[in-house]
Structure 1
């Protein structure tokens, strides 16, 4: 079953189209409001003109309670819905009307000299009214309040007609904008094609792909890919270095094993055969040790799976106790010096134990029988010092600077080592921002310290 993958194109279009639809709806609401305001203004003007025309008709004819056909046609036969009228005399009360205007206070107030526009409720619906006060033709001392009204239905209808005219134009505009957005998104995504082609054409080239032509919007992604390439290149270099180191270190013992096997096979006496097999055994032990050290170095060079806060005062004594049998076999007095308070440091316990084991190995191997080796913990400023100190022959001053180099062994020690112990310890502690420190002891001996950042405890 095929998996539908997320599409950047669809995501961009959805992000742009949805706001455009919201803008279309908002524009429709604004357009309707504007059209309704325009319709109200036009209808108000027509209502005033009709009121003034009606008032002029009343001034030119005697008022007997009945309207002339011309006036009734003006007020009642109007497609815009003028449906209400009222003539109110100050002296005689209501003269003519087609509705009950008693609740409309403005219709009975004839103090104003200018036409008055207002809204009111008449016959249980909202209406728009215009009132004009004029002198009575039948009674010169009387004044008439002439009121003409209409409902709001036609006003809303005109606004809706304007909206229906503008909506298709707005929709067409949105479609054109949408087409431009579609074209723009497709055209903009084409800038990824050169990067895709550049990556597809690569074989073992892990050089960075970021450059001045990379858009800044995708620069974080490209920088992440470059970081991945860098880590991958380091892993490949680590593997190649391991193969080269293994070939370099194992070539001699494997050749020696082959030589002594041939010697044992061709021997005619038991003594020669036994001596050859003993050489094979020693060379096999050396090969196993070199292989183990190389694997340990590779593990140390790779970043540990997790870094956590370690309580060194609880872990280090256990690690030292595990090496006591080795110290007894080597004839070395191995001890532990505890600090005055608990000490914590960031680290990866298996890797830190590997580093400490290699330092103890070096001390047991090179200090000599009868020597004393002390493993201890101590605060050192903002750091924690985990040290291995011996009172053996020490290291010449000229060789101190090269300690920690891979495969470097101090000349004249007479011990058969690989030269990887200090290199393994250095790689292991550097992952947690630690360092190795070497100090010659007086009158003789060597102190190797692992310095780690101190984690304060509550």
Structure 2
């Protein structure tokens, strides 16, 4: 048997699970109902036999009073009283003055039994290891004034249990048929209900690249959590595919120019033997390679920044007052090479946020890169931290040429570059900053620098949970 067939046999069936779940309680219900039926039949049989037993006792007492001239029970009557097909019954007649007159001497009523006059009394007794049900009556001895007779008849419990079992056996087929009918109805109901999933199954099977939501129409209420989960999965897949398509389009758009330039300068180098021309072409090729490398890196960074929101374990408690100075210190050497005074200002106390260290580092690196690229030599760039009520503000400010007010609102758009800028760039740095800030539920503000010079970018973080 192939592995696929083994998996198919091992796969659980919802129909079988439902039917098994219902069959077990139905079987238990049949057993419980049988027990209840037997107990009820036994109670009924005990009642009927007790009535008959009292009547027989009264009949024997009447016989003793009217038809027995010597007060004794004839052998024929004794035989009939004690006869039982698979055992025997018992009787006794005790005189208060003379003791046992007739019957079994072991069947003497217990003392104190007759407390309410001469009414028949019923009780349980054991004789010769047999459990018996007895009825006794006390009567005046018609042949001896002042004497009392105690007349007792007892019978085994066999007939009572036999009748209860017969009632049970008669009821079991009807109950079994009822359970089978209920099981068949459940089978039919489960099968019919599961067929309601066929349109949904066919709809999903007929899809190829369609990730549109299934929706709630014509979907059973019990299946709604599943379909809504599938719709959520479809939404995430659509987002991932859209991100993938956008990445391909962005990469094609941004890498077209460097690749075309590489081809042009490679042709220049191949078409001439002039060392100066070849050197100039190679310099251009090197710059274009660096540009293509930076563009591809930023495209990947933007794609990572645009991924879905937080998941379990994505964030940790971070102290920006310790993290930001450490990250800024790593960029001081580059700032010195670019002749830019890079510094940090901030409080000494902790500034806690819930975030991702690597994303925050990428965001700050892009802000510093933006200043190093556009502020110009001799400029001053300051990274600062401060509180705004309960929020925390991270700012990067320079005193370079800045951005005209008409273009500030467009900062953060993908591939947007301020018109007239002589510096080469991909237009993705601030877009990456924007997406990482959104991932942290932070706000980005773009403003002019101090005294209207330069650019100030502010990231306002919400406080850490529980602070």
Shorter-chain TM-score category? over 0.9
Structure 2 SS opposite 1:218: helix
State the partner residue of 1:240.
Answer: 245
Verify the 8 A CA contact 1:384 1:453 in the aligned structure 2: yes
Verify the 8 A CA contact 1:344 1:456 in the aligned structure 2: no
Q: Distance in 1 between matches of 2:376 and 2:166?
A: 106
* 2:340 paired with 1:340: no
State the partner residue of 1:24.
Answer: 30
Verify the 8 A CA contact 2:375 2:399 in the aligned structure 1: yes
CA RMSD in angstroms comes to 2.2
* 2:369 paired with 1:364: no
Within the candidate set 326, 338, 348, 2:334 is matched to: 326
Verify the 8 A CA contact 1:134 1:143 in the aligned structure 2: yes
Within the candidate set 84, 88, 91, 1:85 is matched to: 91
Instruction: Rate the CA distance shift 1:130–1:267 in 2: closer, same or farther, 3 A.
Output: same
State the partner residue of 1:197.
Answer: 202
Instruction: Give the Å deviation of 1:351.
Output: 1.5
Verify the 8 A CA contact 2:391 2:461 in the aligned structure 1: yes
Within the candidate set 64, 75, 87, 1:58 is matched to: 64
TM-score if structure 1 supplies the norm length? 0.93
Within the candidate set 456, 463, 466, 1:447 is matched to: 456
Q: Distance in 2 between matches of 1:409 and 1:249?
A: 13
Within the candidate set 216, 223, 227, 1:222 is matched to: 227
Deviations 1:352-395 (A, max 9, x none): 21111111111111121112212232232232222212222222
Instruction: Give the Å deviation of 1:299.
Output: 1.1
State the partner residue of 1:212.
Answer: 217
State the partner residue of 1:144.
Answer: 149
**Structure 1: 5+ residue runs without aligned partners?**
none
* 2:107 paired with 1:118: no
* 2:460 paired with 1:432: no
Instruction: Rate the CA distance shift 1:368–1:347 in 2: closer, same or farther, 3 A.
Output: same
Structure 2 SS opposite 1:407: coil
State the partner residue of 1:177.
Answer: 182
State the partner residue of 2:254.
Answer: 249
Deviations 1:231-268 (A, max 9, x none): 00000000100111111111122112212222222235
Q: Distance in 2 between matches of 1:21 and 1:36?
A: 23
Instruction: Give the Å deviation of 1:87.
Output: 1.5
Within the candidate set 414, 417, 427, 1:409 is matched to: 417
Instruction: Give the Å deviation of 1:198.
Output: 0.8
State the partner residue of 1:166.
Answer: 171
**Structure 2: 5+ residue runs without aligned partners?**
none
Verify the 8 A CA contact 1:132 1:147 in the aligned structure 2: yes
Instruction: Give the Å deviation of 1:105.
Output: 2.3
Verify the 8 A CA contact 1:377 1:385 in the aligned structure 2: yes
Aligned length: 457
Instruction: Give the Å deviation of 1:140.
Output: 4.7
Verify the 8 A CA contact 2:71 2:143 in the aligned structure 1: no
* 2:274 paired with 1:266: no
Instruction: Give the Å deviation of 1:14.
Output: 1.6
Instruction: Give the Å deviation of 1:6.
Output: 1.7
Verify the 8 A CA contact 2:449 2:455 in the aligned structure 1: yes
Q: Distance in 2 between matches of 1:359 and 1:446?
A: 11
Instruction: Give the Å deviation of 1:96.
Output: 2.1
Q: Distance in 1 between matches of 2:118 and 2:66?
A: 19
